[in-house]
Chains A and B, each alone.
Chain A
Amino acid sequence: MSATRTAPDYATAHIKLELLSDPIYLSGAREMVSAVSRRLGFDEVTCCQIALAVDEALANIICHGYNRRTDGKIWLYLWPGEGVPESPTIRIVIEDEARQVDIEKIKSRDLKDVRPGGLGVHIIKEVMDEVVYEKRQKTGMRLTMAKSVCACDNNTGGHRDA
């Protein structure tokens, strides 16, 4: 989950969203991703889950990356998968210029140790098929997430047992 990759091919993204690290823009970002997912062919539940993953990722960048500064920048890139609406795919890359943290530290609490907080990263990993955190070249972090639904299976993800 922490492989080092080269930067994505930004130029091929179908959608690029740059927003300030202000929590008031979380809903705009997730509604956009949710609406696009729907048009790509994902069912309602999966659209909500993809939007939730985006919301959790952005909230973490705002809280942990920018320490709740509201003037930081966040970039979201979106690629639809090739293919039929029965097997939609979406790839999302989220980048920031916030502080860099060691990848091992990006993890939620033990689920059994119930206390407020410490669930965002778990939710992201549960809901998406592919989740890779990495440090960007110079500054900030990059999160790459992908989700596919195969026409042949009914598993829309999210409720698997860990």
Chain B
Amino acid sequence: MITLTHYMVLSALLFTLGTIGVLTRKNAIVVFMCVELMLNAVNLTFIALSSHLGNMDGQIFVFFIMTVAAAEAAVGLALMIAFFRNRESIDVEDFSLLKW
């Protein structure tokens, strides 16, 4: 029997994987993809919970998360392009003009 816990643990693992990615990857696009991974983990949680609880709120939430993810992708990638134009790089370690 697949229980809710299975899904929850899986999503927790995925969420953590995403977090690790954000913390370690240097390519801004990859970092962003890891954030997407985190969001997807959240999505899985929501849908699993929604299915368990028997109401649609969680699924609607996922809907909005997807919307937001899309919008963020648009804006984020635009930012990266703008940065790349000036710096010829999207390595996060090159975001070091502002510090201290």
The finding on whether chains A and B are genuine partners in a shared complex, rather than unrelated, reads no
Spell out B's residues near A (CB within 8 Å).
none
Spell out A's residues near B (CB within 8 Å).
none
